[in-house]
Amino acid sequence: MSVKVRFCPSPTGLLHIGTVRTCLYNFLFAKQNNGEIVFRMEDTDKNRSKKEYAENIISGLKNLGITADLGVGTGMDENLYYQSNRGEIYKKYLLDLLYSGNAYFCFCKKEELDTKKENDKTNNVAYKYDGKCRTSDNKDQSDIKKYIEKCEERIKNGENATIRLKINKNEIIKFNDLVRGDISFNTNDFDDFIIAKSINEPLYNFTVVIDDHEMKISHVIRGEDHISNTPKQILIYKAFNFNIPEFAHLPLILNEDKTKLSKRKNKVSIDDYLSEGYLKDAMLNFLFLLGFNTPDEKEIFSISEMIESFNLYKVHKGGAIFDIKKLNWINSKYIRNMDFNDFLTYFKKEIPILNINKDFLKRIAILEKERINKFSDIKDDLFLFEIFEYNIEDILNEKMGVDLNIIKISLENSLNFINNFNLDYNLDKNTIENNLKEGFIKIITDLNLKNGQILWPLRYALSGVDKSPGVFELIWVLGKEESIKRINFALNLLYK
C-alpha cells in the first residue's frame, strides 16, 4: 500500500506548537515510507478562518523545512485543497448518501430538540435523537426520489432541515489505532447524528471523510482529541462503502502541571519561540521528542536522522510534557555546534548597541556562544558592552565575608595586578585565563584571604551584576583598558 498522509489545520490562528508536532510526525512518516504528504485547509469556519493565518501556517512550516508534496503551498491547484472551495463536491456526496437511503432530512425544530435534551438531563439520561424524522417519512422512502423531492419542496417553502446519517443498531465497530491499539465501539451508543446543517452546509466529520477519500489518504495521523470523532467518521466511510484509512492518534502536548498546553501558561505559537532566539532546527528536534523516545536515548537529531529513527508505532500514549528546560538544553546544544560566523550573524541582531570595536565584539560572541541557551539571553548580558549604575553596597556579601574594607583591598590589589598584567591576545583564551588565575591565587595567598573575598568584589566591579561569567573570563573579554576603567568606577563609589 502506498503511503499518503495529510495535514489539515484550521486557519483560525498562528502556527501552534502542537500543530507543528502533528505535521512533523506526518512528514516523517511519509518520507520514511517513500510516501506523500498533502496540505489542505479546513477553513469552513467563515467567522474565524483568515487568509493571513493560512499563510502564516504554510510559511512557518516552510521556514522549518517542512513542505507538502500536494496541496496548499505547492503552487499546484491549491484552491482544490481549501474546504471553502469544495462545496459542490460535498453537496454531490450528500445527495449520493440521501439517494442511497443511508441519510435523511430532519425537520425537527431546535426548540423541540432542546426540550428533549433538557428532559433527558433532568432524568439523568444521555440524550440521543429519537429518530422522529427517520420513521415519520418511512413510507415514502421506498421511493427515495419522491421522498427527496418532497423534502426539497418543504425546504423551498421555508422549512429548515438538517441531514442525519442513518445508524444501524447492535453493531460493534473496531479499528486498530497505530498508537493506542484496538479501539471498539457499539453503534447503540450513537444516535442518527447530524452530518450537515443543510444541503449546502456539511459538518466537519462529513467533509473530512470526503476529502480523505478523494485524496486517497492511507493514514490519518492526528491529535488524540480527535479520537471521539473517529467512530462517526468510520460510520460515514461505511455508509459510502469507502476504504477506511489507518488511524493514529498522537498524545496531546501538556503544560508542566499536566493540563492541556495553552497560551495562559505557555507561549503556544512557533513564532514566539523563534523570535526569542530558539533555532528552528532545535525546535523541530524538541518537538520530535515530545511523545517519542529513540531506543538508544539519543537526543540530538538532524531532519534526516529523524526520518530514519521515527517509529509511529512507538509513539507514547500518555501526554507529552512541554519541558522548557529541555528545550533550552537542546537549543544550547545547537548553539554550541553552530559555525561561528553563522552564530555572529544571529548574535548581532540581538545587540542594541552600535559602534562596537570589532575585536571586542568577537570576544563577547565567543564567550556568549558557550553561555546562552537562546539568543534573547544576550539581552541579559548587556553589561558586557557597558557598565550600568549600581551602589557600592550591592557588592557587600556577608556570606563571603565581604565588607567595605575587603572591597577596598580587593579592588586596589586587582587594579595594581591588571595594570601590570600582559594581556596578549596572540595567546589563546584558556592560556590567558590560566595566567590570570595564577596571578590572583598569589594575591589571595599573600593577603591570607579567601577566594571569594578577592574575586567577588572584582567580579561585581567588572560586571555590575551578581550573575555573570567568572572573573578571568570577564577580564579576557573586556580587555585591560575596560577592566581598569570599571574597577576605577567601583573605587570612586567606595571613596565617595
CATH number at residue 182: 3.90.800.10
* pLDDT score at 134: 86
> 446 and 473, same structural domain?
yes
Dist. CA 23–CA 62, nearest whole Å? 11
> 349 and 328, same structural domain?
no
**Average pLDDT, stretch 120-143?**
78
User: Above pLDDT 70, what percent of the chain?
Assistant: 98
Q: Is residue 209 part of a domain?
A: no
> 351 and 317, same structural domain?
no
The CATH number of residue 393's host domain is: 1.10.10.350
Q: Please, which residues bridge with residue 16 across strands?
A: 269
Q: Which amino acid is at 488?
A: N
Select from 316, 337, 358 the last residue of a domain.
337
**Average pLDDT, stretch 104-130?**
89
> 197 and 127, same structural domain?
yes
pLDDT band at 460 (very low <50, low <70, confident <90, very high): very high
Q: Quote the domain boundaries for residue 61.
A: 1-72+251-337
**Average pLDDT, stretch 373-396?**
91
Dist. CA 110–CA 67, nearest whole Å? 44
> 453 and 368, same structural domain?
yes
What are 253-290's pLDDT values in tens digits? Answer: 999 888 888 777 778 999 999 999 999 999 999 999 99
* Dihedral class, residue 176 (left if φ above 0, else alpha if ψ from -120 to 50, else beta): beta
Beta strands 70-71 and 36-39: pairing type? parallel
Select from 180, 202, 224 the last residue of a domain.
202
> 489 and 408, same structural domain?
yes
Select from 290, 315, 337 the last residue of a domain.
337
Dist. CA 404–CA 391, nearest whole Å? 12
Q: Is residue 217 part of a domain?
A: no
* pLDDT score at 74: 95
| Mean pLDDT, the chain, integer | 93
> 397 and 303, same structural domain?
no
pLDDT at 120 over 60: yes
The CATH number of residue 1's host domain is: 3.40.50.620
Domain count, the chain: 3
Q: Is residue 235 part of a domain?
A: no
* pLDDT score at 388: 86
- For residue 249, what is its C-alpha cell? 492518534
DSSP 269: B
Q: Is residue 176 part of a domain?
A: yes
> 448 and 480, same structural domain?
yes
Higher pLDDT, 288 or 351: 288
> 147 and 189, same structural domain?
yes
> 364 and 475, same structural domain?
yes
**Average pLDDT, stretch 185-197?**
95
pLDDT band at 141 (very low <50, low <70, confident <90, very high): low
